[in-house]
Amino acid sequence: MAGSTPPASGTCRLQLPDRVCFFRWGPRSVVAGLDGDLVCWDWSGRPWAGVWDGRSWRRSLAGAYLELSAPRRARILVPCSAEQGRRWDRRAQRLARDLQQVLGAARGPLAALAPGLEPMIRDRSGDGPAFSRVYQPISILPPDRYLSLVLQFSRGCPWNRCTFCHFYRDRDFRPLDRAAARAHMEAVIELLGPGISLRRGIFLADANALAAPPSRIEQWLDLIHQAFPDDAPGPRAQGIYSFTDLLTGGEQQPDFWRRLARGGLTGVYLGLETGDGELLERLGKPGPPDRAVEMVARIKQAGLRVGVILLAGFAGSLAAIHRRASLEVVGRLGLDRGDRVFVSPLVGAPDGVEILDPEGCREQARQVIEALRRECGQRAVLYDIRRFVY
C-alpha cells in the first residue's frame, strides 16, 4: 500500500535480485547488511560507515573514505584513494537502488520507505566541495564526540604553539561574530539536511571556542537555542561541548562557567597532557598542571562535565615522571561518574622530547589507563587520534 506511513523504525529481510538483505531503519540512520557486507547511511543519503569484503570503513562528511586497519594491533583509520572512494560510493548506490526497487514492490507500509531511499541513490561527488564551502577542516574532536554536530564558531587555536600538535597550523584563531556564526550554522544545517538526525550533541570547534569573549560565547549559545529549541528533537538534546585549556580556561572565574552553564553548555574537554610541569613546558604548552585542580573545581561547581586528556608515549625516565605526576594531578581533580579521562598515544615526535615507537606509545597509554583505574579509581579510555573522522 504505497503512500501509507512507514513505521519510524523497523527491521526486515528483503530478497534482492541475487541475495537476501537484512534491512534496518530508524530515526537516525538506515542500515543494510548482506553476506558479511554492511552499509550505514544517514537520511541525507550519505554512507557513513560500513564493511565491504571484510574491510571496515568510515566515510567523512566531505566524502573521503578511511579504512579501519590494524597494523601491529592498533586499529586506526587509513585514508583510501579517491578512486577507491568513488568505487565504494557507486557500490552503495547500487545497493540502495536494489533496495528501493524491492521496497517499492513490497506490500504494506514497507513500500512507503522506498521514496526515502532516493538520496542514497544520488551521485555523491559533490560532497567534498559542499563540505569545503561550509567548514574549514575539522581537525579533531574528543573520542566520545565524533558524531557531534560541529559548529565552527571559532577557527584555529589561540595558542597554536604546542610542539606535539599540528592540528591548526594552517589558520589563525578567529571567533566569528554573531552574524557570521548565524550564517555558518544555517549553512551547516543545510549541508547536513535530514542527515542531522545522526548527530548526537553539538561541539563548538575549533581548538578552544571558549577563549572567545564571554558575551560572544553567550551569543553563540543563544543562536543554538533558537535553531534547536528545548522541546524539539535534535542534536542539542545530547548537550553542547567545547575544548578548553589551562591558559585561557584557568583564568576564568566561577561566574564565567556559571554563565555558560546557564546558556546551555554541558561540558568541556581539557587538554592537560601531563601532570609534570617541566615536561609540559618542554612540550610548549602553558601550565602549570596544578592549575587544573582549581579550574576543574570551578567548572564542576557550575554543573558542567569534564573530560581530561592525557598524552602517552614518553621514553626513558620521562615515562615514570609523567605517569606519577599525571596520576597525582588527576587524583586531585575531584572527577566523578559523569566525567572522563582520555589517554592519547603521541603521534609524531615533539621537538626535543624523546618518545616511544607507535606500539610503545599505545602500550604506555594502556598502562596509564590501568594505573588510573587501580590507583585513582578513575575510569579512563584510549583516545587514538588516528581513529578520528568527521
Element (H, E) at 219: helix 214-227
Do 27 and 11 touch, CB atoms closer than 8 A? no
By C-beta, is 19 or 161 nearer to ligand SF4? 161
CA pair distance 64, 33, nearest whole angstrom? 22
- By C-beta, is 35 or 172 nearer to ligand SF4? 172
Which single residue is written with the C-alpha cell 503512500?
A: 3
Span between the terminal Cα atoms of the chain, in Å: 38
Shortest distance in whole angstroms from residue 329 CB to ligand SF4: 17
DSSP 355: B
| CB-nearer residue toward ligand SF4: 110 or 204 | 204
Note the residue count of the chain: 390
Pairing of strands 267-273, 240-244: parallel
Map grid coordinates 613546558 to a residue.
281
Q: Is 210 in the site for ligand SF4 (CB under 6 A)?
A: no
Considering only 159, 203, 257, 390, the residue that binds ligand SF4 (CB under 6 A) is: 159
Angle at 238 between CA 344 and CA 59, to 5 degrees: 60
| Window contacting ligand SF4 (CB under 6 A); options: 7-15, 165-173, 302-310, 318-326 | 165-173
Whichever of 157 and 224 has its CB closer to ligand SF4, that residue is 157
When the beta carbons of 21 and 308 are compared against ligand SF4, the nearer one is 308
Asked if 287 is part of the footprint of ligand SF4 (rule: CB under 6 A), the reply reads: no
Q: For residue 384, is the peptide bond before it cis, meaning its omega torsion is within 30 degrees of 0?
A: no
Q: Under the criterion CB under 6 A, does residue 250 sit at the interface with ligand SF4?
A: no
Q: Which is nearer to ligand SF4, 66 or 162 (CB)?
A: 162
Instruction: Choose one: 157-165, 214-222, 326-334, 372-380; the region binding ligand SF4 (CB under 6 A).
Output: 157-165
Handedness of CA 263, 266, 270, 275 (dihedral sign): positive
Q: Using the rule CB under 6 A, is 162 a contact of ligand SF4?
A: yes
For position 167 contacting ligand SF4 by CB under 6 A, the verdict is yes
Confirm or reject binding of residue 343 to ligand SF4 (CB under 6 A): no
Q: How many residues bind ligand SF4 (CB under 6 A)?
A: 12
Near ligand SF4 by CB under 6 A: residue from 285, 298, 322, 362: 285
Distance (Å, rounded) from C-alpha 43 to C-alpha 160?
37
Question: Cα separations (Å) of 274 from 92, 183, 346?
Answer: 44, 38, 12
- Tell me if 265 contacts ligand SF4 by CB under 6 A: no
Q: How far is Cα 220 from Cα 264, in angstroms, rounded to an integer?
A: 10
Of 221, 311, 310, 306, the residue nearest 269 (C-alpha) = 306
Contacts of 177 (CB under 8 A, 6+ apart): 216
- Choose, by CB under 6 A, the member of 29, 84, 93, 160 that binds ligand SF4: 160
Q: What DSSP designation does 330 have?
A: H
User: Strand, coil or helix: what is 176?
Assistant: coil
Listed in order, strand segments (DSSP E) in 253-333 are: 267-273, 305-312
Pick the closer one to ligand SF4 by CB: 245 or 339.
245
Residue 57 makes contact with ligand SF4 by CB under 6 A: no
Tell the smallest beta-carbon distance from residue 166 to ligand SF4 (Å).
8
In whole angstroms, what is the distance from residue 335 CA to residue 354 CA? 30
Exactly one of 40, 207, 302, 330 binds ligand SF4 (CB under 6 A); that residue is 207
Q: By CB under 6 A, is residue 157 in contact with ligand SF4?
A: yes
Q: Report in angstroms how near the CB of residue 82 gets to ligand SF4 at its nearest.
A: 28
Does 203 sit near ligand SF4 (CB under 6 A)? no
Give the binding range for ligand SF4 (CB under 6 A) out of 19-27, 67-75, 152-160, 323-331: 152-160
> Closest approach of Cβ 139 to ligand SF4, in Å?
8
d(CA 159, CA 167): 12
Answer yes or no whether residue 245 interacts with ligand SF4 by CB under 6 A.
yes
376 binds ligand SF4 (CB under 6 A): no
- Which segment (11-19, 114-122, 144-152, 155-163) binds ligand SF4 by CB under 6 A? 155-163
Residue with cell 567534498: 128
Where on the chain is the footprint of ligand SF4 (CB under 6 A)? Answer: 157, 159-162, 165, 167-168, 207, 245, 271, 285
